[in-house]
Structure 1
């Protein structure tokens, strides 16, 4: 069984195209293979071989499904991914190669409001609870909202390893993909 924490790749191990039939809230019967080589923390990667749509969940049904079938982190952003996140004041949260968690996807019940803003034409959200002040990109499919209220369940993930132009080492940056 592939859970809500899996990262669904194509049968050749590539990212799903924008035209992918898989949508949030759908339950699929899937045939898949674990990816041959994974690079931690992206250990949830699976390569889809085939699938058929089983059913759809929405609203409170989807939220209840997550509540009853997934681990949910409660508390500060600093506790996500086993406390491995770096949260530089006012900048993008990330992990580095010095402390790699054992997963790249998680659910979190926010302890503070998440405020939307745009930077370099990209949608982002900011978390602020002194002394933590961090931001992260929004990579979901739903239209952005100005505020995601405290207490909302959100799906967070770590982007693939990447070295920013101004940096000298790789990092996996935190991203938000949806709220329930």
Structure 2
């Protein structure tokens, strides 16, 4: 069995997307149900939960960058360690390239290149990452959606946590890349847009 620390919960059109860390390996994972499908809105997971569960690579796992998909079956909730527990884990364990501090350009293997999306020309090896920004991120609402501004770039927020006016520099933020999308034929290429799925204020 595996212990998974739940670090994010984001909105989807047909359920929720739950992100976690395999505590034994440090691997970042995206939880699917035991059949490989998306989790429903009634999924029992909350940010900061530690769950004992079975975890295996999803039969329908996608190609890079979306490699984190896992088929999971919950066994029991161990405890909830809250945001403080997530911060403690991230700071005390070597997450390698999955934790990056500095300019946004350095995240996702440098494939953003001053943009808020990646293209097929430069595909990172993963689609979720922790980031410690070098500047504050300020909240705005645009067309009824929540965004955070970083150096003029508008990054969509898709999590369940109540918005805050400012995410200070130095705070751990969780980033993710959305599915490939071609803008319904408007764009010249498919793109994976950057999203903020959560943050961890001490």
Please identify which structure carries the higher strand content: 2
Deviation string for 1:91-139 (max 9, x for gaps)? xx011111111111110111100011112211111101xxxx3221111
For 1:65, what is the secondary structure of its paired residue? helix
Alignment partner of 1:58 is 2:82: yes
Alignment partner of 1:81 is 2:108: yes
Alignment partner of 1:8 is 2:39: no
Give distance in 2, aligned partners of 1:15 and 1:97.
Answer: 25
Give distance in 1, aligned partners of 2:183 and 2:75.
Answer: 36
Out of 40, 46, 56, which is 1:23 matched to?
46
For 1:6, what is the secondary structure of its paired residue? strand
Listed as ranges, the gaps of 5+ residues in structure 2 are 5-19, 22-27
Question: Hey, which bits of structure 1, 4+ residues long, moved more than 3 A?
Answer: none
Give distance in 2, aligned partners of 1:177 and 1:59.
Answer: 14
Q: Which moved more, 1:157-166 or 1:58-67?
A: 58-67
For normalisation by structure 1, the TM-score amounts to 0.88
Is the Cα contact below 8 Å between 2:51 and 2:75 reproduced in 1? Answer: yes
For 1:141, what is the secondary structure of its paired residue? coil
Out of 92, 95, 108, which is 1:68 matched to?
92
For 1:175, what is the secondary structure of its paired residue? strand
The within-5 A match list for 1:1-180 is 1=2, 4=21, 5-36=28-59, 37-69=61-93, 70-71=95-96, 72-88=99-115, 93-128=116-151, 133-165=152-184, 166-180=186-200
Aligned residues: 172
Is the Cα contact below 8 Å between 1:158 and 1:173 reproduced in 2? Answer: yes
User: Considering only aligned residues, what root-mean-square deviation do their CA atoms show, in Å?
Assistant: 1.6
For 1:145, what is the secondary structure of its paired residue? coil
Give distance in 2, aligned partners of 1:61 and 1:174.
Answer: 25
Listed as ranges, the gaps of 5+ residues in structure 1 are none
Is the Cα contact below 8 Å between 1:33 and 1:49 reproduced in 2? Answer: no
